Each structure stands twice: as C-alpha cells, then as structure tokens.
Homo-oligomer: A and B are copies of this chain.
Amino acid sequence: MNDVVTSGRSRAGGRAARQTLRATRDFRMLPGLTRNIPVCEVMDGGQVEKIDNASMDILENVGVLFRDPIALADWKKAGAKVVGEMVYLDRGLIRDMISTIPSEFTYHARNPANSVRLGGKHSVFVPMTGAPFLRDLDDKRRNPTLDDLAMFHKLSHMMPALHSTAHHIVEPYDHPISQRHLRITYSSMKHSDKMFMGMTTSPRNAEDVLDMCAILFGDDFLENHPVTTGNCNGNSPLVWDETMLGAMRAFSRRNQPVLCSPFVLGGANTPANVPASVAQLNAEALSALAYTQVIRRGAPAVYGHYLSTVSMKSGAPMAGTPEISLMNFMIGQMARHYRVPWRTSSLLGGSKIFDAQAGYESATTLSATLHAGANYIWHSAGWNEAGMHCSVAKFIVDAEQCVMAYRMAEGPKWGDFDAALAAIPDIGPGGHYLGHPHTQANFQTAYFMPELFDNNSIEQWTAEGEKDVTARALALARKLLAEYEEPKLDEAKNEALLDYIARREREIPAADELNQSY
C-alpha cells in the first residue's frame, strides 16, 4: 500500500519500482496510532465550564429517561432521584461515577501483535458497520450476504491502518436475523486476528458474543482484558432504551468497553445551536457513562456519539458539514475534560455513488476527527449513502486515506534532519535531489505516495483506459482478495465456537424480519 508498510526499498524508478512495490506488499497492521499533533480546541476553559454546567443542569433538572426497569432500580440504589422512568442525576453523583472510568486501556487481539492502546493520544481506525446494502466488486448496489461480510472482514484484515474488523460491516441477509449475530461474530473472529466489535442487538445477543469471546480468549482473560467493543446508542433527546441498556449491562459486567453513543441529528433532536447541542449530547453521554460504573465500577467505557446535522430538504443526515467538524472539536474537549476515551465517526459520505461528493465529505470528516483527537475512529471505511450502503471501492480508498491521516497525525519526522540538511550544500542552487544518496535512501519513507490516486499525465491515464478511482479501487480489491491468507484459528477453539453456534442456533427460533443498527 505504501512505503510505511512495504518491506525492502526500491531505488529504481518507473515500472521496476512499481513491480518491486507490488512484490513487497506488506499487509501487517500499523501499530495503534499515537498522535503527535496538537488537538484543535475551539473552546476556552470558561466555555468548557459552560458546557459542563449546562449538561449538569440538564441531568439534574430535565432528567434522562431510562426505559428499562433494571436500570431504574440500579439508579435508585445508586442514590439517584427516580420518578417513573425519569432519572434525575445529581452532578456530584455523575462526577463520582465517571471518575472510575479508565482514561486509557489496551484492546487485546487474538494475535498479540495486533493489540492496540485506546485513550489519551492513542487512536484506532475501525471500519463502518450496519449497512443494509453494499456496492459490490462490480459496483452493483444490492443486499449483502454472509460471503460479502466475509469479504469485508478479509479486506479489513489486509488494510494496514484498519485496527479492527468491526462486526456487521454489512447486514448478511441470507441468514435468519435472530441468529445473525452468531455468524457475524464468528466471521470477524475467523477472517482476521485483529480486534473486532460485539453485537448489541439485544441483551441476549450480547451475552452470546461475550460467551464466544470467552471461548476465544478464555474466561479469566476476558474478565481482566478488553477484547471487544459494544456500541449502545441513545435516542436523543435524553432517552436510553431497554435493548441498549441490557446490552450495556452484558458488556460492562464482563469488563468489556461500551461506546455510550447518543444518536444526534443536529437541529432535529437537538437545539438549533452548536454549543447547546453539544451540551445536550454531553449530558446524554455522561448519563450512560455513569451507568456503566453503576453496573461495574472501573469497567472501561468510551464517550460516544453518532453525530450529524440534518438536511432541511430531506431530513437525512449530512456528512462533512462545518458544524459536524466543530462539534467533534468540542466533544473532544469535553471527553478530555472528563478524562475518558472518546469515539467518533469518520469518512462519512451521503452520496449515492462514489463520486466527488463522497470524496469531499469523507476527507472533511476524517480531517476533523484527527484534529479533534478522537480515539475510537469508527465507520472509517466504506460508508456512503448516509450508511445505507458499504462500497467496496470506497472501503479500499478510505483505508488508504486512514494510512495518510495516520502519517499526518504522527507529525513531522526529525530523525534524519541533519543528514537531510547536509544534502542542501551538496546539491546547491539550481541542482536537483533525485540522484543524491540521501534522497535515494529516504525518498520512499519521506513522502507518502497514494496507490489509489492517479498522478500520471493525461496521456498515460488515457492509454491505461481512463479509469476513475472506483475502477482502480475495485481492481485492487480483487487483487487483495486473491492474495488473502487466513490467519487460522486454533483448531480446538474453532470447534468450540462452531459447537456454540450450532447449539445456540438450535435454541434460537429463526425469525426472518430485517433489522438495522448503527
């Protein structure tokens, strides 16, 4: 994919260099990103206090609806004021609860080389999930299958900047919905040895995922090590429902991190004002983060959100708008204020096809999330049509964009500054550097060269068939899939997982309605 992830180094130009690059393609995962550029903070200390105070006022006086009898009982026991389904959370209680959330932790992958750190300066890229459609290897839009899901898990495994295979990148329609979570989880586990996400479509489904994790990692290991991630969406404004809270309990009880994600459509379910929307979102996130600590003190949890602004024309979520960037900057500040890791969404597109719109939207979101200092950077590959489809072409291009963002966020490299400076008098005014030994030794590592962006002359591009980036990405996807090598599961664990799935599929009735989740 690029110089960072190719072993060896070519000093020849043109075709020979290209062949060398291809020959040495290296699929090894990049380590979790350790950011080394400053975060973009758009609020001063007083404004952070204003948001904090407004959120605490909301929690104390407006309250949060927990539509779940167990959560209501839990909150009562924890000392909150509970009136019907409404929970009023005192700021002292909130601050006390969130104080035990770890500010950083390590995710363990079944291949220890692929374990990654999260929180503080440590960030990971995770592919998109939840698409009810895909645009396939022929760019055809259709319903996905388990094979399509496996394809995306394989590609996630091979793209160096993706640190996770996530879970249901696409919804596999060829399997009964009620049993789908088992096959999805197995697909993530089988096709890659990176970390993965856990389905939260119901409390029982979450338990199944965690039982499978226990098979893969061992019960004791699971108890003390984050290995997967659950996402729990809130219904903004200020509502958490039974399904999500039940799934949250399953994860937190077993010490597995949960993304506490209000689902915000700015202006539709928040006020028509950016800081006030952040205040509401912040209250929502805090209420769920605090609840994870009611479930189990010290359990890892992540400040989440799904964040968009809505089109007045269609009511649909938009991507890459200025307010989404600003809210990301502000939410990052709030999460750092509370010292909890935070999640955002990246590389989002609202286009129906992989055109320039999708490119602008995706790159704008990616840039904002990097400058915002987000930790868990979700939906980082494939997302288009507001999440309605995952595009194979876009998946490949997005994954390379993550490599580029990764390099940007690492900051400038000063290692050989003096040696590089020494080349300047060697070359002198009017010279050129390509033949200089320092250039020949360092060109590939000094400057990133995107594989999927065509920078040839128009004559060459025409001679090569006038391929747009979609065509080039799909060709690369086919090539990658042909080169895929499965990182085999331990035979005994594999059988235990298959036994578990077989047993649960006998137990779970096969309903066939369709679900979606984000």
- Which A residues lie at the B interface, using CB under 8 A? 13-14, 17-18, 36-38, 40-43, 47, 50, 54, 58, 61-65, 86, 141, 235, 237-239, 266-277, 279-280, 309-314, 316-323, 325-326, 329-330, 350-364, 366-368, 371, 385-386, 388, 394, 397, 401, 404-405, 407-408, 411-414, 416-417, 419-421, 423-425, 427-434, 436, 438-439, 441-444, 446-450, 452-458, 460-461, 466, 468-470
Q: Give every chain B residue within 8 A of A432 (Cβ-Cβ).
A: 237, 268-269
By a CB distance below 8 angstroms, the chain B residues around A371 are 40, 367, 371
Does the CB pair A316–B62 fall under 8 Å?
A: no
Known pairs A267-B434, A448-B322; A424 contacts B276 (CB<8 A): yes
What is the count of identical protomers in the complex? 2
B448 touches A321 (CB 8 A): yes
- In the complex, the answer to whether A434 meets B268 with C-beta atoms within 8 Å is yes
> Which residues of B sit under 8 angstroms from A450, Cβ to Cβ?
318, 320-321
Residue of B whose beta carbon sits closest to that of A458: B352
B407 touches A447 (CB 8 A): no
CA distance A429 to B88 in the complex (A): 12
**Could you jot down 6 A-B contacts, CB within 8 Å?**
A37-B40, A266-B446, A271-B439, A272-B442, A317-B455, A318-B449
- Complex Cα distance A62/B366, Å? 41
A457 to B235, CA, bound (A): 22
Is there contact, CB below 8 Å, between A408 and B313? no
A371 closest partner in B (C-beta): B371
Contacts of A439 in B (CB 8 A): 267, 271-272
Least Cβ–Cβ distance between A411 and chain B, in angstroms: 5
B417 close to A469 (CB less than 8 A): no
Residue among B62, B408, B428, B454 making CB contact with A238, cutoff 8 Å: B428
Contact indicator B275/A468 (Cβ below 8 Å)? no
Q: How far is the CB of A273 from chain B (nearest CB, A)?
A: 3
The answer to whether B355 and A438 touch across the interface, beta carbons within 8 angstroms, is no
A272/B447 in contact, CB under 8 A: yes
Other A-B pairs beyond A267-B446, A318-B453, A356-B356, 6, CB < 8 Å:
A237-B431, A239-B430, A273-B417, A325-B408, A356-B468, A364-B367
Known contacts A37-B40, A62-B428; is A457 also within 8 Å of B272 by CB? Answer: no
Q: Is B350 in contact with A453, judged by CB distance below 8 angstroms?
A: yes
B447 contacts A321, CB within 8 Å?
yes
